[in-house]
Amino acid sequence: MTRTDLTDSHCHLDHFSDEELPDLLARARDAGVGGLVTIGTRLSRAAQQKKLAALDSPQVRVWCTIGTHPDHVDEAPVPTPDDIIAQTHDACVIGIGESGLDYFHGKPEIRPRQQESFRAHIAAARQTGLPLVIHTREADEDMISILRQETEEKGAFPFLVHCFSSGPELARAAIELGGYISFSGIATFNRSDALRAIAVDIPAERLLVETDAPFLAPVPKRGKRNEPGYVAHTAQRLAQVRQMDDDRFAALTTANFHRLFTKAA
Digit-by-digit pLDDT tens for the chain (265 residues) are 345 589 999 999 999 999 999 999 999 999 999 999 999 999 999 999 999 999 877 789 999 999 999 999 999 999 999 999 999 999 999 999 999 999 998 789 999 999 999 999 999 999 999 999 999 999 999 999 999 999 999 999 999 999 999 999 999 999 999 999 999 999 999 999 999 999 999 999 999 999 999 999 999 999 999 999 999 999 999 999 999 999 999 999 999 999 999 999 7
Distance CA 74, CA 92 (A): 27
- CA nearest neighbour of 88 among 49, 35, 134: 49
The CB density around residue 42, as the number of other CB atoms within 10 Å, is 18
Annotated binding-site positions for a divalent metal cation: 10, 12, 98, 135, 162, 212
Contact between 195 and 183 (Cβ < 8 Å):
yes
- Establish if 31 belongs to a structural domain: yes
Give how far the C-alpha of residue 171 lies from the chain's centroid of Cα atoms, to the nearest Å: 15
**156 — phi, psi (to 5°)?**
-70, 160
Distance CA 207, CA 75 (A): 33
- Establish if 153 belongs to a structural domain: yes
Q: How many domains does the chain have?
A: 1
Distance CA 10, CA 98 (A): 9
- Establish if 25 belongs to a structural domain: yes
Structural domain including 42 reads: 6-260
Residue ranges in 108-192 assigned as alpha helix (H): 111-128, 140-154, 168-176
How high is the pLDDT of residue 106? 76
- Residue 46 is part of a domain; what is its CATH number? 3.20.20.140
- Establish if 144 belongs to a structural domain: yes
- Establish if 265 belongs to a structural domain: no
- Establish if 102 belongs to a structural domain: yes
- Establish if 1 belongs to a structural domain: no
Q: How far is CA 60 from CA 3, 26, 204, 249, 263, in A?
A: 12, 8, 25, 19, 16
Annotated binding-site positions: 10, 12, 98, 135, 162, 212
Contact between 33 and 60 (Cβ < 8 Å):
yes
